[in-house]
């Protein structure tokens, strides 16, 4: 993980997120998304071909890389020749393999590039002849260094972030256990228990207290609410207590108003710029000493039907140093007059 993030093997990394996935049948996987700086982004087909390949390397050109590709990044064999492969479902491969032959890499701005797969390279895997249509995308440097299955792909869509985060929330692996005391009881509920499956590698990982997922940047969500309409969370029977607590504490928005009343530096910043220079601590914004470059500030998204809050959100994206809700309203009146 240090190679692409610290040592810039794929380009200068400015942000990253990863999650680990444990499975029953093999060692754990790491799903890793790296955001490169603008100058290092893969903007041309030639640059993509330099870092990512989907072809069998010639044994004459590089024998070791050829052996690693054949052993680690060939998908299958599957399809008509092997209908019993794990990836087969209703006589089709779930990974959409084999791919199509392509004489050149094509940029695809919506999802992923379509990589070059020339029709003249073949190898034998599991006694079957396979060509470039079965190669999983890889980076030659990482493959040569680690001699392992490392899938590298260029992502140009927000769907990649969704793909990474779904592994955090999809839940743990399960196993079906059959319990009997000599005589089989025909009772599905009594005989079968849906149990959590923890492999040896996952157990070791958790016992050592290692991270299951992590990210380089923290997202700070900034609330948008009207006067006396901030969110209040309460338990049944404790409504009055929750209201008293809500009256005594300030939201991030109210704290920002208070900060602008006393701090001239804050008055030169938008609401969305505050988290980069200040930290919200005990219901107050205090000047940040470090970590501002690891924050991503985002206002809550609002529905157009929630008109008043939507207008307030729009104004907060343009108003500097607002000291109160009244200040924002007065500014709006000034705009209308102009």
Cβ count within 10 A of residue 27: 10
Residues 115 and 225 in one domain: no
137-169 pLDDT per residue, tens: 899 999 999 998 888 888 877 777 777 777 777
Listed in sequence order, the residues at least 6 apart from 316 whose beta carbon sits closer than 8 Å to its beta carbon are 224, 253, 270, 271, 272, 299, 322, 328
CA–CA separation, 139 vs 102, rounded Å? 18
| pLDDT tens-digit map of 268-326 | 989 899 899 999 888 889 998 887 888 888 888 888 888 888 988 988 888 888 888 88
260 is in which domain, residue-wise?
A: 218-336
Residue 54, domain member (yes or no): yes
Q: Is residue 261 pLDDT above 80, yes or no?
A: yes
Percent pLDDT > 70 in the chain is 89
- Tell me what pLDDT residue 141 has: 92
Backbone angles phi, psi at 175, to 5 degrees: -140, 145
| pLDDT tens figures, 122-141 | 888 777 888 888 888 899 99
Q: Domain check: are 225 and 332 in the same one?
A: yes
- Pair type for strands 278-281 and 284-287: antiparallel
| Range with lowest mean pLDDT among 153-167, 178-192, 225-239 | 178-192
Name the domain count of the chain. Answer: 2
Residue 21 parent element (H or E)? strand 13-21
pLDDT of residue 189: 62
Task: Band the pLDDT of 194: cuts 50, 70, 90.
Answer: low
Cα–Cα–Cα angle for 157, 163, 165, rounded to 5 degrees: 120
Asked if residue 328 and residue 239 are part of one domain, the reply reads yes
Q: Which SS3 state, helix, strand or coil, does residue 157 take?
A: coil
* CB count in 10 Å sphere of residue 248: 8
Let me know if residue 12 belongs to a domain: no
Smallest Cα–Cα separation from 13: which of 23, 24, 21, 4?
4
- Closest to 256 in 3D by CA, of 206, 326, 323: 323
Domain presence at residue 19: no
Q: What is the pLDDT of residue 184?
A: 56
Q: Based on the domain organization, do 233 and 140 belong to the same domain?
A: no
Between the alpha carbon of residue 249 and those of residues 104, 282, 285, the distances in Å are 60, 9, 13
- Residue 87 is predicted with a pLDDT of 80
- Cα separation, 45 vs 154, in Å, equals 11
Structural element, H or E, at residue 32? strand 29-36
Residue 200 within a domain: no
Q: Which two tokens stand for residue 229?
A: 């309409």
Q: Quick one: 224 and 116 in the same domain?
A: no
Q: What is the CA radius of gyration of the chain?
A: 28
H helices of the chain, where? 2-5, 45-51, 63-72, 140-146, 159-169, 188-191, 200-207, 239-248, 252-262, 274-277, 307-316, 325-337
- For residue 242, give the 3-state DSSP assignment: helix
Grade residue 38 by pLDDT with cuts at 50, 70 and 90: confident
Residue identified by tokens 């610290």 is 6
Task: Note whether 149 and 232 are same-domain residues.
Answer: no
Residue 160 lies inside a defined structural domain of this protein: no
Residue-level pLDDT at 145: 92
Q: Is residue 240 part of a domain?
A: yes
- Residue that terminates a domain, selected from 110, 126, 153: 153
Does 182 map to a domain? no
């Amino acid at each position: 993980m240090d190679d692409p993030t610290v040592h810039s093997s794929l380009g200068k990394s400015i942000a990253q997120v990863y999650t680990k996935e444990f499975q029953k049948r093999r060692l754990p996987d790491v799903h890793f998304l790296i955001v490169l700086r603008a100058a290092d982004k893969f903007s041309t087909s030639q640059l993509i071909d330099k870092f990512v390949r989907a072809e069998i390397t010639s044994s004459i050109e590089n024998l070791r890389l050829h052996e690693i590709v054949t052993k680690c990044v060939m998908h299958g064999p599957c399809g008509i020749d092997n209908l019993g492969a794990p990836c087969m479902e209703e006589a089709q491969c779930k990974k959409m393999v084999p791919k199509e032959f392509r004489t050149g890499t094509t940029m695809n701005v919506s999802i992923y590039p379509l990589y070059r797969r020339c029709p003249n390279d073949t190898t034998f895997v599991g006694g079957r002849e396979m060509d470039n249509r079965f190669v999983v995308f890889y980076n030659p440097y990482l493959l040569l260094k680690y001699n392992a299955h490392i899938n590298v792909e260029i992502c140009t869509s927000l769907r990649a972030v969704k793909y990474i985060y779904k592994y955090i929330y999809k839940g743990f692996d399960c196993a079906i256990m059959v319990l009997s005391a000599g005589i089989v009881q025909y009772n599905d509920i009594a005989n079968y228990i849906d149990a959590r499956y923890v492999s040896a590698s996952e157990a070791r990982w958790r016992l050592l207290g290692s991270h299951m997922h992590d990210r380089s940047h923290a997202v700070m969500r900034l609330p948008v609410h009207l006067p006396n309409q901030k969110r209040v969370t309460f338990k049944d029977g404790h409504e009055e207590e929750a209201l008293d607590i809500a009256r005594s504490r300030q939201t991030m928005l109210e704290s920002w108003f208070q900060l602008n009343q006393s701090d001239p530096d804050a008055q030169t910043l938008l609401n969305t710029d505050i988290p980069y220079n200040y930290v919200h601590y005990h219901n107050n914004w205090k000047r940040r000493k470090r970590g501002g470059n690891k924050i991503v500030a985002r206002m809550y998204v609002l529905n157009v039907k929630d008109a008043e809050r939507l207008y307030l959100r729009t104004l907060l994206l343009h108003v500097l140093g607002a000291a109160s809700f009244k200040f924002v309203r007065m500014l709006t009146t000034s705009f209308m007059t102009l």
